[in-house]
């Protein structure tokens, strides 16, 4: 079955040009002017529209068991919502419990992901250390298509990685040709500040950002960067939310260190005034870590994206409904952390980034797919419109608009941090693995159609 996307402007990270795109099976087979449609091909008119690589969200949590409950979106509903938003690949997280064998957790997540409607691949979290963890990291890289390991520097008494684990795991990742990633927040400081606030009787969602100020994130970012520097490993910092962390990345990069930063669509658009809202459900709905920050930090994040010191945009899609969030009604530390966004990331970043002139369409592709594909070693299979690449494509209507609302979204959870925002520039058609899976509001996601994407190890580092 062939699909021809005709008459649009192809946008890759390096250039934009007028061309038709022909897909056969799950691959793009030709990109060029005036391509002929083979007999029986589905033809999509992309006149006046952009034809871009499908989005890659490098940070999602579908079907995540967390803080005593499980997220609303599973791998089917979460990836389907992504397809509706022009996002064709997610990188999710296998998060073993401390003491749980890595491979056991990995197979658990692979099982949950079988129902995915779009392609997926996994970072694996290192939440504890032993010789067995050391050995299983090798098995994951060699045999299971994993090339990135995640470390939570927060969540004390749960999944927090101490310095010993960070050092040993970073070193092992380097040896294997994998990239270490961190959630940078000092978990000990967060824990102590939480206890202080509870003792003072400050128990509502307003206390959430007070327990995780920018300095707490900056300490961890600087520490992770210092460890990576000593061990000479690359480093990817997830959800950079504040100027201080960005400054740490900028300094490290200026000194020649290979450090990458990820910004969340939420942190780029939503500010911390949401926690002052008198309605518990509204404020708690915005509880995620790191928290939303003031506008000065948002401005810095945009500058980081524009200046090339932040590389990818993600969502940390992790949906909990109001009933689940209510577990923390009398104690903000018990509010399940997480917000959605996989359906809206591309549109809000286009609206705020491209419409305002902060990003060109090519720069938009760079931060929504190409960089993630390169950093996590699935380029040019993903993140590029070219013959031989996967037929994961979003046809983007720059004149279309949509008002975002939890009432009309495909994602579960009944909440949306971008509620009421009208965006100009929306996906009109999404093609995943060569099939039209979304067209003008009609979602045709198929349970189980998504595939696991193996990510090969990076070439061994040779001494210079
Ligand atoms: Zn996360």
432 CA distance to ligand 1 middle (Å): 24
What pLDDT score does 66 carry?
Answer: 86
Give the chain's length. 464
Q: What is the mean pLDDT of residues 119-133?
A: 98
238 CA distance to ligand 1 middle (Å): 8
- Ranges of each domain in the chain: 2-52+383-398+425-443, 54-375
38 CA distance to ligand 1 middle (Å): 43
61 CA distance to ligand 1 middle (Å): 6
By three-state DSSP, how is residue 435 classified? strand
What pLDDT score does 207 carry?
Answer: 98
In 174-215, beta strands by DSSP E: 179-183
Q: What is the mean pLDDT of residues 359-388?
A: 98
Nearest to 147 by CA among 114, 180, 170: 180
277 CA distance to ligand 1 middle (Å): 24
pTM attached to this predicted model: 0.97
Nearest to 229 by CA among 253, 211, 200: 253
336 CA distance to ligand 1 middle (Å): 12
332 CA distance to ligand 1 middle (Å): 19
Give whole-number Cα distances, 395 to 80, 389, 435, in Å.
Answer: 17, 16, 13
Relative to beta strand 259-264, strand 119-125 is unpaired
* Percent of the chain residues past pLDDT 70, beyond the cut: 99
Task: Give tens-digit pLDDT for 247-287.
Answer: 999 999 999 999 999 999 999 999 999 999 999 999 999 99
- Which residues make Cβ contacts (< 8 Å) with residue 134, sequence separation at least 6? 168, 172
What pLDDT score does 68 carry?
Answer: 85
40 CA distance to ligand 1 middle (Å): 43
pLDDT band at 414, cuts 50/70/90?
Answer: very high
Q: In this structure, is the dihedral angle defined by the CA atoms of residues 18, 23, 28 and 34, taken in order, positive or negative? A: negative
387 CA distance to ligand 1 middle (Å): 33
Q: What is the CATH number of domain 2-52+383-398+425-443?
A: 2.30.40.10
Rg of the chain over CA atoms, in angstroms? 21
211 CA distance to ligand 1 middle (Å): 18
60 CA distance to ligand 1 middle (Å): 6
59 CA distance to ligand 1 middle (Å): 6
Helices (H), 406-449: none
337 CA distance to ligand 1 middle (Å): 9
CB contact at 8 A, 190 and 223: no
278 CA distance to ligand 1 middle (Å): 27
CB contact at 8 A, 29 and 21: no
DSSP 210-275: HTS-HHHHHHHHHHHHHHHHHHT--EEE----SHHHHHHHHHHHHTT--EEEEEEHHHHH--GGGG
DSSP 269-332: H--GGGGG-S-HHHHHHT--SSPP--HHHHHHHHHHHHHTS--EEE--B----HHHHGGGSS-G
239 CA distance to ligand 1 middle (Å): 8
444 CA distance to ligand 1 middle (Å): 27
Task: Give tens-digit pLDDT for 206-230.
Answer: 999 999 999 999 999 999 999 999 9
CA 191 to chain CA mean position, Å? 26
Nearest to 41 by CA among 99, 1, 93: 1
Other Cβ atoms closer than 10 A to 138 = 13
What pLDDT score does 67 carry?
Answer: 81
28 CA distance to ligand 1 middle (Å): 32
56 CA distance to ligand 1 middle (Å): 15
By three-state DSSP, how is residue 121 classified? strand
362 CA distance to ligand 1 middle (Å): 27
Return the residue matching tokens 């959605």: 340
19 CA distance to ligand 1 middle (Å): 37
Beta-ladder partners of 93: 123
Other Cβ atoms closer than 10 A to 329 = 15
316 CA distance to ligand 1 middle (Å): 5
Q: What is the mean pLDDT of residues 373-377?
A: 98
Q: What is the mean pLDDT of residues 123-146?
A: 98
Average pLDDT of the residues of the chain: 97
Containing 51, the helix (H) or strand (E) segment is strand 50-53
Return the residue matching tokens 């300490």: 219
By three-state DSSP, how is residue 6 classified? strand
Q: What is the mean pLDDT of residues 341-351?
A: 98
289 CA distance to ligand 1 middle (Å): 8
User: Residue 388 pLDDT > 80, yes or no?
Assistant: yes
Beta-ladder partners of 452: 120
6 CA distance to ligand 1 middle (Å): 38
Q: What is the mean pLDDT of residues 289-316?
A: 98
Nearest to 345 by CA among 326, 317, 370, 381: 317
What pLDDT score does 463 carry?
Answer: 47
CB contact at 8 A, 335 and 208: yes
Architecture of the 54-375 domain:
Alpha-Beta Barrel (3.20)
317 CA distance to ligand 1 middle (Å): 7
What pLDDT score does 461 carry?
Answer: 54
The span from the first CA to the last CA of the chain, in angstroms, equals: 49
149 CA distance to ligand 1 middle (Å): 13
290 CA distance to ligand 1 middle (Å): 10
Look up residue 164 and give its two tokens.
């010993």
Relative to beta strand 179-183, strand 148-152 is parallel
User: Residue 19 pLDDT > 60, yes or no?
Assistant: yes
pLDDT band at 1, cuts 50/70/90?
Answer: confident
Return the residue matching tokens 């250390």: 129
182 CA distance to ligand 1 middle (Å): 10
Task: Give tens-digit pLDDT for 417-462.
Answer: 999 999 999 999 999 999 999 999 999 999 999 999 999 999 765 5
Give whole-number Cα distances, 414 to 136, 167, 276, 335, 338, in Å.
Answer: 38, 40, 21, 16, 13
Question: ∠ CA 341-382-122 to the nearest 5 degrees?
Answer: 60
């Amino acid at each position: 079955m062939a699909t021809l996307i005709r008459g649009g402007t192809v946008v890759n990270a390096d250039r934009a040009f007028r061309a038709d795109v022909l897909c056969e099976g799950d691959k793009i087979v030709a990109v060029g002017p005036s391509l002929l449609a083979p007999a029986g091909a589905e033809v999509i008119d992309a006149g006046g529209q952009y034809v871009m690589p499908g989005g890659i969200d490098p940070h999602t949590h579908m079907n995540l068991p967390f803080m005593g409950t499980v997220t609303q979106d599973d791998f089917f509903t979460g990836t389907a919502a992504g397809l509706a938003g022009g996002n064709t690949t997610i990188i999710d997280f296998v998060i073993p419990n401390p003491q749980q064998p890595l491979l056991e957790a990995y197979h658990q997540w692979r099982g949950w992901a079988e129902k995915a409607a779009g392609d997926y691949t996994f970072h694996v979290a290192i939440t504890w250390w032993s010789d067995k963890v050391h050995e299983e990291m090798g098995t994951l890289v060699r045999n299971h298509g994993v090339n990135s390991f995640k470390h939570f520097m927060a969540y004390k008494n749960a999944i927090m990685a101490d310095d010993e684990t960070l050092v040993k795991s970073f070193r092992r990742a380097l040896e294997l040709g994998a990239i270490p990633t961190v959630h940078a927040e000092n978990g000990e400081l967060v824990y102590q500040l939480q206890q202080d606030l509870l003792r003072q009787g400050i128990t509502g969602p307003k206390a959430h950002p007070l327990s995780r100020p920018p300095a707490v994130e900056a300490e961890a970012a600087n520490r992770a960067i210092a460890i990576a520097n000593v061990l000479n490993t690359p480093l990817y910092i997830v959800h950079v939310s504040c100027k201080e962390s960005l400054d740490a990345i900028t300094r490290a990069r200026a000194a020649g260190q290979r450090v990458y930063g990820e910004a969340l669509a939420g942190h780029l658009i939503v500010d911390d005034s949401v926690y002052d809202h008198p309605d518990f459900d509204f404020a708690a709905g915005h509880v995620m870590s790191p928290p939303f920050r003031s506008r000065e930090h948002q401005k810095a994040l945009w500058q980081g994206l524009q200046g090339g010191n932040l590389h990818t945009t993600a969502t940390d899609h992790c949906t909990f409904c109001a009933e689940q969030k209510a577990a923390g009604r009398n104690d903000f530390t018990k509010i399940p952390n997480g917000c959605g966004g996989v359906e809206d990331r591309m549109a809000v970043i286009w609206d705020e980034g491209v419409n305002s002139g902060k990003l060109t369409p090519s720069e938009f592709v760079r931060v929504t797919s190409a960089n993630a594909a390169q950093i996590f070693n699935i380029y040019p299979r993903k993140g590029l419109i070219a013959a031989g690449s996967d037929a994961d494509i979003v046809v983007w209507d720059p004149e279309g608009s949509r008002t975002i609302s939890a009432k009309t979204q495909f994602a579960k959870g009944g909440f949306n941090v971008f509620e009421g925002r009208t965006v100009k520039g929306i996906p009109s058609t999404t093609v995943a693995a060569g099939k039209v899976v979304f067209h003008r509001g009609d979602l045709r996601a198929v349970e189980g159609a998504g595939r696991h994407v193996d990510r090969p190890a990076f070439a061994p580092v040779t001494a210079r």
